[in-house]
Structure 1
């Protein structure tokens, strides 16, 4: 967990329970809270002018949600939607900044975390510019697996459907399905009961 639950509660944080489909915040909202996931998953998405969903990330327990926007005066460029029932802890922006002022080590940890996420976003963007679908998909797999402590082969279940992988990579669903089968034959992924393990 990025910041301990007890420390967040000591600064006035509140715990909330959400069901799948609940909206934590919408694109265009003003950031007012620091959000950290205790359990469950949240997706960050955007809809293009044709109404097609683009998933930018799926966040799981222990991760924070768009905390970088608490440091600048910009509105959310994405929606945060509960992907599966979750519990989050939220702390008002002013109290979050006070917590960071009072605890410089946590502030440094947040900076390191933001830097790592930005690094992997650059890698993912670079991979998504590739003409090779396997490079695009492996870029998404590497990005999502980067948040997990267990980096052993096939230890990470990709938390995305084939359609969601298509939305993330700009590929057609049929191309995603073919490429995953190819990656399985090459021994780069395992498919167990329809789930992709990387």
Structure 2
């Protein structure tokens, strides 16, 4: 857990249950709460002008959801939608800031988490500017795994379809399929029941 559940509860957090494919907040909403996942997975997505979905992040248990926007006066640039039934701790913005002011370790953990996210965003930008499909796909897969606490090889199921990987990397679906098969032969990833594990 990024912030311990007991500490969140002490400052007035409540736990909410969301069904599969339920929206937690929409693009354009004003951030009013700190959200932390206690079970399930949440995707941050955006739809382009043609209605195509772009998944920007997959967040697992223990991670916070768009906490960076609690420090600036901007609206959400993404939607937060559950992949599966999920439970989320919800703490009002004012109480969240008080928690950070009064708990230096929690504040340090949030700063470190924000720094890691920013680092991986730079990596994604660099990877997506590469000409090599291998580099683009590896960068995308590693970025998504970075949200998981488990770093062991083949421990993380990539929650993206080949079509979604293509959309994230600006590659054709056929190129993604060929590259993924080659990366499996090179033992970079595993495919189990059509799912990619890295």
Verify same fold: TM over 0.5.
yes
Unaligned runs of 5+ in 2: none
Q: Could you give the per-residue CA deviations for residues 23-74 of structure 1, whole angstroms, max 9, x where no partner exists?
A: 1111110000000000111110111111111110011101000000000000
Q: Structure 2 length normalisation: TM-score? A: 0.96
Report the counterpart of residue 156 of structure 1 in structure 2: 156
Distance 1:50 1:138 in 2: 26
Q: Could you give the per-residue CA deviations for residues 112-170 of structure 1, whole angstroms, max 9, x where no partner exists?
A: 11001110111011101111111111001111222334323222221222122122212
Q: Structure 1 length normalisation: TM-score? A: 0.96
Report the counterpart of residue 73 of structure 1 in structure 2: 73
Report the counterpart of residue 191 of structure 1 in structure 2: 191
1:22-37 maps to which residues of 2 (within 5 A)?
A: 22-37=22-37
Distance 2:35 2:194 in 1: 32
Unaligned runs of 5+ in 1: none
The count of residues paired between Structure 1 and Structure 2 equals 198
Distance 2:18 2:130 in 1: 37
Report the counterpart of residue 56 of structure 2 in structure 1: 56
Report the counterpart of residue 15 of structure 1 in structure 2: 15
Distance 1:54 1:195 in 2: 19
